[in-house]
Structure 1
Amino acid sequence: MGLLDHTCTQTVFYAANLYLTERGLPGYTLYTASMDGKPAPTAEGLVVQTRRLSELAQDSIDTVIVPGSPQIRQAMADNVALLEWLRVTATHARRMASVCSGTFLLAQAGLLDGLRVATHWLMADMFERLFPQIKLDREAIFVQQGSMWSSAGISAGIDLALALVEADCGREMAMQVARRMVVHYRRPDNQDQWSPLLRSQYPS
């Protein structure tokens, strides 16, 4: 698992909860879960504590966010039980989302067929080879197709989570969260992954 693929979305919802609590409104209840409930190592070397997915009431889950992994091919092969859990949960949850190569797991679970999706640009070729039945948008930083949300790599998870907060709580709340997190600019979903600002700073 990529550390920022996980923590970028968690931080957005944590920040939203601070404002929601101030207003006396119910906030997000956040869980980090895995099939075995064991500590999950990240690619960067830190370890994230998890709880068993079986401890969660599957029919009460509102939103599932699947983080990415640099070893996504191995993750798909090793997580057959997780894929089945995703299939079943998708029939109950209000929405399913992914960050970076987490889109591969939603695709492998058969949840994205015929939909337009996003993933990290470095993995675009592999995604199209593995899932020709899915319409990959190579440029978008995040995509919503009904109850399915997907995003490009790492920091794009912040844009995705801010969009989820806006859908739940309104634009004002999303902007307050963005300001608290010192987000320079709220990028729209169709923002090119290779941003014009970054391109202008790239050595020629």
Structure 2
Amino acid sequence: MHRVGYLLTEGFQVMALATQSVFEFANIVTGKAVYKVQNFSQAGGIVSSSLGLHVDTLPLTQAGLADSWLVAGTLTPLTPPDADVLQSVRGLADGARRVAGICTGSFVLAQAGVLDNRRVTTHWAFAPALRRMHPSVNVEDDRIFIIDGPVWTSAGMTAGVDMALGMVEKDLGSEIARSVAHRLVMHQRRSGGQSQHSELLSLSPKSDRIQSALDYARKHLNRPLSVEELAEVVHLSPRQFTRVFTAETGQSPAKAIESLRLEAARLLIEQSSHSLDVVARETGFRDRRHMREVFMRGFGVPPQAVRRDSRRMV
């Protein structure tokens, strides 16, 4: 049995507990108790989340040896926990097969000295502070999760679910991980190398009509996708569609579609072994050269550099 311990500190972010469902469903999928999950705090007893949810925890003195330790993040990561907590974290890291920081839980690991000279990530909003406070830590603020030896760190809270799923994949294989993701109704299994930012989220349309147009575009990126076609999908004239689209998203339809193509191409480059010619064709660029031009304009690097960097991620 693989023992998984969660270290909760006062004011922990409740989304951290959602990652426990990944281990729960791994047990369900395999039909046996592969994982035993327990919640701990320094002294034990009731610990309150930032939302006010109370969780009963075991004291770390009863922790014994665990295979994996996951440190929950808080909404106030710049305030370090007590010295005894940091001392405990150092001991936990030394005795475990792996240790992980969920979102701003990486701050606790950094304050305990566990992240020195390692590649890590955290929520994008706190990444500059982590970099400034701990210059010996190599912070990469645009990754879903990063594995550096026995140390795992994730971005914002939903990325913790992806990280936990990555642990299941490493422990039990890709088929079990896929089955767990399916049970959890995860639309997409995200690898650690993915960006924290979503183009669809940043466009943030205000109406279902424009959202439908964007959903249609994302599913048909390998086509030219004219304004006329998109307008017809949502039953507007091209002129009306352009006006409403621009008002709701702050971008023209052409610019938004290019951004969606760019994001889709980046994901294919990071996650597949398709040639760049195939990626360009599948995501609607005229050719490989056109895709390179858009990558240079959008990311400042060519597609080859994105693929090379993704191969460095575990």
* TM-score, normalization by structure 2: 0.60
The structure number with the bigger radius of gyration is 2
Q: Read off the aligned partner of 1:40 and give its amino acid letter.
A: V
3-state SS, counterpart of residue 85 of structure 1: helix
- Give the alignment of 1:1-204 within 5 angstroms: 1-5=12-16, 7-20=17-30, 22=31, 25-57=32-64, 60-74=65-79, 76=80, 78-201=81-204, 203-204=249-250
Q: Distance in 1 between matches of 2:127 and 2:13?
A: 17
In structure 1, the partner of 2:279 is none
Total equivalences in the alignment: 196
Deviating beyond 3 angstroms after TM superposition, the runs of 4 or more aligned structure 1 residues are 200-203
Percentage of identical aligned residues: 37
* Larger helix share, 1 or 2: 2
Q: Alignment partner of 1:30: what SS?
A: strand
Q: Identify which of structures 1 and 2 has the higher relative contact order when contacts are C-alpha pairs closer than 8 Å and 6+ apart.
A: 1
For 1:71-110, what per-residue CA distance to the aligned partner results, in whole angstroms no more than 9, with x for missing partners?
1223x1x321111111112221000001111000101111
Shift of residue 161, structure 1, vs aligned partner: 0.2
State the SS of the aligned residue for 2:84: helix
CA-to-aligned-CA distance 1:121-165 (integer Å, 9 cap, x gap): 110121111011111001001000000000001100100000000
Post-superposition CA distance 1:24-57 (Å, at most 9, x none): x441011100011121111112111111111121
Gaps of 5+ in 2: 1-11, 206-248, 251-314
Measure, in 2, the Cα distance between the counterparts of 1:147 and 1:70. Answer: 25
CA–CA separation in structure 2 for the residues paired with 1:83 and 1:9? 23
After TM superposition, give the deviation of residue 10 of structure 1 in Å: 0.7
**Counterpart secondary structure, 2:36:** coil
Q: Distance in 2 between matches of 1:142 and 1:130?
A: 20
Instruction: Give 1:118 shift.
Output: 0.6
Partner amino acid for 1:53?
Answer: L
Q: Secondary structure at the match of 1:122?
A: coil
Distance in 2 of aligned mates of 1:8 and 1:189: 18
Which amino acid in 1 is paired with 2:43? D
* SS of the residue 1:73 aligns to: coil
Matched residues in 2 for 1:99 and 1:89: separation? Answer: 16
Q: Offset of 1:12 from its aligned partner?
A: 0.6
